[in-house]
Structures are given as structure tokens and as C-alpha cells.
Chains A and B, each alone.
Chain A
Amino acid sequence: MTQYLFFSGKGGVGKTTMATATSIHHAVRGKKTLIVTTDPASNLADVFEQEIGHKITPINGVPNLWAMEIDSDVATKEYKERIIGPFREVMPEDVIASLEENLSGPCTTEMASFDRFIDFMEGNEYDIIVFDTAPTGHTIRLLELPVDWSKHIEQSAKGSGQTCLGPVQTIQDSKEKYDRATALLKDSARTTFIFVMRPEALSLYETLRASKELETIGIKSGQIIINGIFPVEVCEVAFFKKKYESQQQVIKETKEAIQKPIQYMLLRDNEVKGLLGLSDVALELFDGSRPSATSETGVLMLREAAVAHPDTDKLFLPDPGKGTKAIFFTGKGGVGKTSISCVAAVHIANKGFKTLIVTTDPAAHLGEVFGVRVGSEPARIMDNLFAVMIDQEQAFKEYKERTLAEARGKYSEDMVAAMEEELNSPCTEEMAAFDKFVRFIEGKEYDVVVFDTAPTGHTLRLLDLPFDYAKQVELMVSTNDSKGVKTETQNRFREIISLLRDRDRAVFSFVLYPESTPMMESYRAMLDLKKAGIETQLIVANLVLPEEVCVKDFFRNRRRMQMKYLKVINEKFGLPVLRFPMMQEEISGLERLKQAARLVL
């Protein structure tokens, strides 16, 4: 019987490293092992240092190990073809085109990736299948889908017989498959969820949240890996000593808060890459052997690339008369987007501009950073600064209520009931969140709106939505009656798209760590944005080790590695790079934020 291991946790916590190390551990012990990623910004290829792609690929140098990166684009194409293929011969071209267009919405993408992912849970070909899943928020949604979907399918079968998810016949054919998958996910004898976290308060908070959310849908299994712990022997300098102590405190709290087996993983002085590095991690993870504190690799001394501080004020402050400016901090989850967005927002507000900071992260922790409760209505943080969180579920409820309230005065009860049923679809959920998100840019109320966006894959989908929507709108039956509605909606989306493409009105910045994997991921994401006509304008390199505190070899090595990547980042992106130093304590509370803003911006 195949065992399933799911790695959960925000991106950037080391999920991929832990998942690959685990798969190597099992493979070398003779277990036939497959590692699959569903992360839209997958980096398995970077870690294994070989091409993988959207097919099951044997890993060079490790017997019994295969890997696959599910490419959501390819999965969608395959899924669409399965539906449309049979009609190619018998339907005219324009009908086929309209079918294809109809299947290009966000629902289809979600459906297709999920469908592909479930395929691995049929069959018994492997002893162990490791899923290096997408970041927390996305993971939760992905895993909750089978539950929502089977509910949705049952409901729709009773009602209109139509759903938002593609051909109802196809879904009916798959219903049993989805139910089987859900049952497997909940079977703790066969499925284990492994939460990877860093020894930081926010990370613990997120892990607790994620594990509780899974518990509510009946998934109780779980293990914890705490990754990136500072080795005590290298923490003599006060700066690191303090960090070490705060980490140990979080570790203690984790033990108290979560009744699950915990594994510990020390921070290394260099990045983990290639089979040697991964095997070393596997040894520590499973046999408890400590890594040597310093490695031989980081010895190449690099001169720090000359750093010009980018003109952040030019990027962040609004031009008079140009309307609201939108600033996006994007990048992998866990790289510090929230903290950096908050620092930027505090800085802009201090300059006298009315600023709103918006989080779209499903595992939002804006409130934690500000030390103030942040909800679905903008709350005042300080002079000129307001914060709001887009809660997808809440937005969905509001959107549904608004639509139904409008309908109640107009239509019969039966009609409203029919609408209510149709509105219970995952598509409506996406739409509702996006609708909210857009409103904050459209409103003229703020000079600047700073978005602490969701993890990369999610963000891109969110930003891609206007394009999908525009297409969706075109699908509406064109008659005189509906032309008014159509034009209005189309104009609205056209305006948003052109705003996002206007460098003076929207600024896209990538937050990353100066390390290989986050750099590669951001680079791919930047190219993706470019395809949508959006130019990235700034890179923020976070957690750069301050030179003056790096007196031990361990940290000197790590800093050298960072400097090496900062140089590569400069060359690869050709964009201004803002260095954000590692702070002695986590940035939370207004005073710390203000201090950080003064220091960095």
C-alpha cells in the first residue's frame, strides 16, 4: 500500500528541501519513491540540479527515486483536450473555439491541476509518494477542494444539473475518484501531513492555523519540522545570541502548543543543493546527526558588489494628479513580504500620504505585525495609515449577499433560490475576492495602496484574473438588453489592466532571500508578469546579514553566499535592489516598524 507524505508550510520555510531529503532517505533504503510538486512556482529542478518538468523523471544518481513537476498550464491543456477532443470532428470551428474559451477560466485551471494530482493517489505503483505541496494558503484550498467539490457536485446534480466546473458529465465521472481521494487524505494510516516551519513566532502562528484548518476537515495526522535553527556554538555575538534565544523560546512554545512529533533542523552556513547536500539533510532529519557547523564550500571571497541605494521614494511616493498609486510586494510566501510591506507603508504614511495596506494572503498575519486587529474594513493604524485584510470567505459571503439582496427586490422567490444555488461555486469565491481587491485600487480615497500579496503562484493567478474575466464577459449572450452591463464591466476591467501596466501608477516589487531557489522562482515569476505586460521595478533582498556581526566563520560563510547571490541578482534582473538587513528581533509593533523604515528607506 502506497504511503503518502504531504509537506505543508509557507514557501521559503524549506519545504522542498525537507521533502526532497525525505524522498532520498526512503529511496536509498529500497523504497520505490516518487516526489511530486503541485506548486505553480516549482523548484524541484533547481534542488536536484537536473531537468524534470511535467513528466515522471528518474533522478540521476539515486536509484528508486522519480520526480515530477505538475505544470498547471500543461495539466489544463490536457484536461481541456480530454473534454473538447471528441467534438473536434463533429462541431464547426467557431463552436470549438467557444468551448475552448469557456474552459479558460480560473475554475478549469484549478480543476485540472487537482485532477492530475488525484491521479497519483489511485494505483499502487510506488511505496511512497511525497507531495511537495504549494504554500500554506494554497495548500489548504487545494486540500479542501475535494470536500467542497463533492458537495458542489451533489447539489448541482439535484438542481440545474450544471456547475461552474466544466462539463457536468465529466465531473460525475470523477465524483467517485474525488471521494476516494478525500477518504485517503483522512486515513492517518496511509497519509501523513508534515508541517515545516521556522523557529519564529509568525511561522508558529501560521503552522497552528494550518494544522487547525486541516483538522476541521477531518485531517488529524501530522508531524512538525522546525527548520533553520541557529547552532548554539556559533552564536556568541550578542546579535545572534539574542536571535538564538528568541528561536529557543519559539521552539519551547511549539512543543507546548502542538501535540505532534517534532523534528529539528539546524541552519547551515551555505545553501542546500544537489544530492550531497540533500543526503546530509536526510541524515540530520532521520538519524539526528549534526551537520558540521562550517563547510568548505563558502570560502571563495567575493568583494561586495558596489551598492547604490535605490531611489525608493521615487517608486513608493505618488505623483500629484496621477491618482492612487498601487504598490505590490510579491514573491514566495515566507520571504517577509508582510513585514516589508508594513515598513514601506509606515514610511509612505510618515511622508504625509494617506496610505492603505491590504493583505490578500489567506494566512494573513498583518494584525500580528502591527499589533492591532486588522479585519475586513480598513482600520486606522496611525496618522495617514490604514490596514485591511481581504478574507476570501468573508468576501464571498458579502458578494453573495449583495447579489441576492439586489435580486430579492427584483425577482421571484424561485429565481432567488436558483441564484443562491448557482452562487455556491468555487468560481464565485475567486471572483468575490478579486472584486474586493480591485475596489481598493479603484477608490480615490487613498494616495497609496500597498498590497502585501499572497504567495507567488496565488498572486499570479489573482493578477491574471482580469484577463480571464474580460474573456468571461465576452461570453455573455450579446443582445440589446445586456449590452449595457457588458460594456460597463468590460470598461472597468480594461481600466484596471491599463493601471497595472502603468509604471507611474503601479509598482511591482519582488521580495526574496539572496539565495538560489528564491532567486530563480522570482525570476520566473517576473517573466510571467512580463507576459501579462507588467514590468517589475524593484527587488527587495531580505535578511541580508549585517557585515559587522559576522565574526564567526559560520556566518561569514553565509554572508559570502548572500553576497554572491546579490551579485547574480544584480546581473540577472537588471533592476534596482534594495537590501533589507536581518534585524535582531522580529519586526512587530509600530515603533519597530518606524525604526526599520528610518534605517532602510
Chain B
Amino acid sequence: MKIEIYDPAMCCSSGLCGPAIDPVLVKVNDAIIWLKKQDVEVERFNLAQQTKLFVANKTVADLLHKNGKKILPITLMNGAVLKTGGYPTYEELCAALGIEPLMTKPIMLHVG
């Protein structure tokens, strides 16, 4: 099982490079950490830093061509489009992957 997230152009993947932390990006990063614990392969690509890969993936390149950058972020599951124009939540990802969400996260998020 494999999740790929194609991010818009950002300074850093976690959103920490800006003068204020974007809670949405923190949540995404958190979801990725939990999925990895559950042996799901997760890869993230930043438009500003790995532009080549946005061109190399036909699905992503086509979506971008048709819609422009507002289509980002794009989330793919096993190569097929799962969500566009926004990030999926941890629960959404679990449901799509058919796995049980971890019930006992050591520290819950207070944001969002």
C-alpha cells in the first residue's frame, strides 16, 4: 500500500520555515508519522523542490495541466487519485486504505 502526496510549492515540507506554523501542515505531517508506524509507505513531493517528479507522474501532470496549481495538493493511493485541492485527514486515509486508525495516540493534536 502506498500513499503519495504532491504538495504545492513550499519552503519546507512541514511548514516550519515560515514565520508562523501552519496547523494544517502539522496535521498532515502527523498523519504521515502514524501511517508509517502502521507500515504504510508514504512519500511526499514538494513542487518547489522536486518539480521533475510532478512532470514524470502522468496522472499528476495531467491534473496540473487541466486545472493549474489550485488542484494541489494531490494525494494518490497506489497510483490512483484519492483527493485533490486539499489534504485528506488521518481518518480518511485509514478508511481508504482499509486499516484501523490507531486509537491511542500518545499525544493528541490540539489544532484544527
Contact = CB atoms under 8 A, between A and B. Distances in A.
Interface of A: 83-84, 86-87, 90-95, 98-99, 101-103, 105, 107, 160, 162-164, 166-169, 403, 407, 410-415, 418-419, 422-423, 425, 427-428, 431, 435, 469, 472-473, 475-477, 479, 481-482, 485-486, 488-489, 493
A431 B12 CA distance: 14
Q: Is the interface of A mostly helix, strand, loop or mixed?
A: helix
A90 B24 contact: no
B96 interface: no
A407 B29 CA distance: 13
A231 B69 CA distance: 67
Contact of B48 (A92, A167, A423, A486): A167
Interface in B23-68: 23-27, 29-30, 33, 44, 46-52, 54-55, 61, 64-65, 68
B103 interface: no
Contact of B11 (A98, A105, A414): A105
Contact of B23 (A86, A87, A163, A485): A485
Nearest to A83: B51
Contact of A485 (B14, B16, B21, B54): B21
Interface in B59-99: 61, 64-65, 68-70, 73, 86-87
A403 B24 contact: no
Contact of A92 (B30, B65, B110): B65
A411 B20 contact: no
B36 to A, nearest CB: 9
Given A410-B107, A418-B33, A485-B22, A477 B8 contact: yes
B47 A98 contact: yes
A489 B20 CA distance: 7
Contacts of B22: 476-477, 482, 485-486
Interface residues of B, number: 49
Contacts of B110: 410
B1 interface: no
A23 B40 CA distance: 61
A162 B24 contact: no
A411 B26 contact: yes
A162 B52 contact: no
Contacts of A412: 30, 33, 105-107
B4 to A, nearest CB: 13
Contacts of A99: 9, 47-48, 51
Nearest to B107: A412
A414 B23 CA distance: 16
A475 B86 contact: no
A167 B7 CA distance: 14
A91 to B, nearest CB: 7
B15 interface: yes
Contacts of B17: 164, 422, 425, 427-428, 431, 472
Contacts of A167: 48-51
Contacts of A475: 8-11, 18
Given A415-B33, A425-B12, 9 more contacts: A83-B51, A162-B46, A166-B49, A167-B50, A410-B110, A411-B26, A415-B26, A477-B8, A486-B20
